[in-house]
Amino acid sequence: MRDFLRKVMLARGGALSPYSGLGSTHSALVERLQSGLIEGYELGSIHEYNLSNNPLKRLWRRWIGGPSRVQKSANISDVVHITDQEQGGLVPKSGRSVVTVHDLFHLFPNTRSGVAIGEQNPSLIRKKDLAKIKRGLSRASLLICVSKDTQQECEMRFPGVPTSWIPHAINLQEYEAETERPSWFKDGCNLLIIGSEEERKRVDFAVNVCAGMDVTLHKIGAESSPESKKDLLSLAAKVNCNLNWIGRLEQDELIAALQHADALLFPSIAEGFGLPPLEAYAAGTVALVADAPAHNEIPLEHHILPPDDIEMWRTAITELGDESVEVRARAADFSVEKWAQRHLEAYNSLF
């Protein structure tokens, strides 16, 4: 170990809940730097602010105040690490800068399986914001991509900017703790679907897969809106799917559900990474996943299914068996220790 620690400034815009996707990965990076997990590097400072209801204040912080503060800190930090691509406008014009790119949906919208992904019709202000983000990403010293699919797109969109593939990691030991079977599990086959009701998540597809089957599909995750919940419950009743709406769970409750479920269904057709399949594997549970970026990079090959073939999904459910050893071995590829080694190599590449 070198006899000094290089200081890393972490930067983002408004502080997000640690329960959100971007918020949780930011919080994990803070904790891991503070604990000394990345050898030779330590947390120097954090740039963030409380979200404001004043749109002018938000815009000033995003376009003027934030970039100015980050540039000043870049002059006294060894590395400035911006923790998600939406804050690309914070990339300083000098110094070593890293941006974690989770996905490019909103920067470069597209359509997959008939579903619109990203902002299809941004406002004039948002277009200006997107231009600032793209310019920032173009001048970054390094783009850390959480999936190989995103890495490939970054290399196409931002030629000449170095990239590094560093997938998300989880603490495998958390998912090995002994738990009790959730009281809300039913007799027979219990399946999980985790996430919001965004169209790209395709909860409706999972409902149609389970239609008429002797299974219970438990929907976990905070509802996007009362209307979306009502629509899905109505669809479930119409097609004879036993849908049990659970809502958001605490981490220990989620782990218990994953450990005792027969399988996780993950039919999404667009993800920046797709954490639930990895969490299921770490808990020793099969994840049946749609063959779409970037979550199809995680599972074993026979757990990856055609996005729209309902019969193949139904067959896979009827053929479920105990694969706990195999899936836990795969989850080990995404350990925190391997994540730390990949980050160390990425940071060192800047010097």
Q: pLDDT by residue (tens digit) across 213-258?
A: 999 999 999 888 889 999 999 999 999 999 999 999 999 999 999 9
In a domain, 129, yes or no: yes
Q: Are residues 11 and 35 in the same domain?
A: yes
Instruction: Check whether 134 has a pLDDT greater than 80.
Output: yes
Instruction: Check whether 280 has a pLDDT greater than 50.
Output: yes
Least Cα distance to 267 among 197, 175, 332, 184 occurs for: 197
CA dist 112 to 117, 224, 317, Å?
7, 21, 25
In total, how many domains does the chain have?
Answer: 2
Predicted confidence at residue 2, as pLDDT, reads 54
In a domain, 99, yes or no: yes
Helix (H) or strand (E) holding 23: helix 21-34
In a domain, 220, yes or no: yes
Q: Are residues 41 and 163 in the same domain?
A: yes
Q: Are residues 270 and 301 in the same domain?
A: yes
Residue 69 sits in which domain range? Answer: 6-169+335-348
In a domain, 29, yes or no: yes
Q: Are residues 127 and 197 in the same domain?
A: no
Predicted confidence at residue 351, as pLDDT, reads 95
User: 106: domain CATH number?
Assistant: 3.40.50.2000
More reliable by pLDDT, 205 or 58: 205
Q: Are residues 189 and 256 in the same domain?
A: yes
Instruction: Check whether 117 has a pLDDT greater than 90.
Output: no
Q: Strands 163-165 and 242-247: what pairing?
A: unpaired
In a domain, 1, yes or no: no
pLDDT tens by residue, 81-108 = 999 999 999 999 999 999 999 999 989 9
Predicted confidence at residue 3, as pLDDT, reads 64
Q: Are residues 289 and 157 in the same domain?
A: no
Helix (H) or strand (E) holding 328: helix 324-331
Predicted confidence at residue 51, as pLDDT, reads 83
Instruction: Check whether 306 has a pLDDT greater than 50.
Output: yes
Kindly report the average pLDDT of the chain as a whole number.
Answer: 94
Least confident of 118-127, 157-166, 319-328: 118-127
pLDDT tens by residue, 18-74 = 777 788 889 999 999 999 999 999 999 999 988 888 989 989 999 999 999 999 988
Predicted confidence at residue 176, as pLDDT, reads 93
Asked whether 292 and 268 are in contact (CB, 8 A), the reply is yes
Give mean pLDDT, residues 299-318: 97
Instruction: Check whether 129 has a pLDDT greater than 90.
Output: yes
Q: Are residues 278 and 226 in the same domain?
A: yes
Q: Are residues 242 and 216 in the same domain?
A: yes
In a domain, 70, yes or no: yes
Q: Are residues 93 and 145 in the same domain?
A: yes
Bridge partners, 80 (sequence order)? 9, 97
Give mean pLDDT, residues 277-303: 96
Instruction: Check whether 279 has a pLDDT greater than 90.
Output: yes
Cis peptide before 294 (omega within 30 of 0): yes
More reliable by pLDDT, 113 or 25: 25
Q: Are residues 156 and 191 in the same domain?
A: no
Instruction: Check whether 283 has a pLDDT greater than 60.
Output: yes
In a domain, 316, yes or no: yes
Q: Are residues 118 and 249 in the same domain?
A: no
Q: Are residues 189 and 251 in the same domain?
A: yes
Asked whether 207 and 242 are in contact (CB, 8 A), the reply is no
More reliable by pLDDT, 161 or 14: 161
Instruction: Check whether 159 has a pLDDT greater than 90.
Output: yes
DSSP character string of 121-136:
S--HHHHHHHHHHHHH
Predicted confidence at residue 1, as pLDDT, reads 47
Predicted confidence at residue 223, as pLDDT, reads 81
**Separation of alpha carbons 338 and 171, rounded Å:** 11
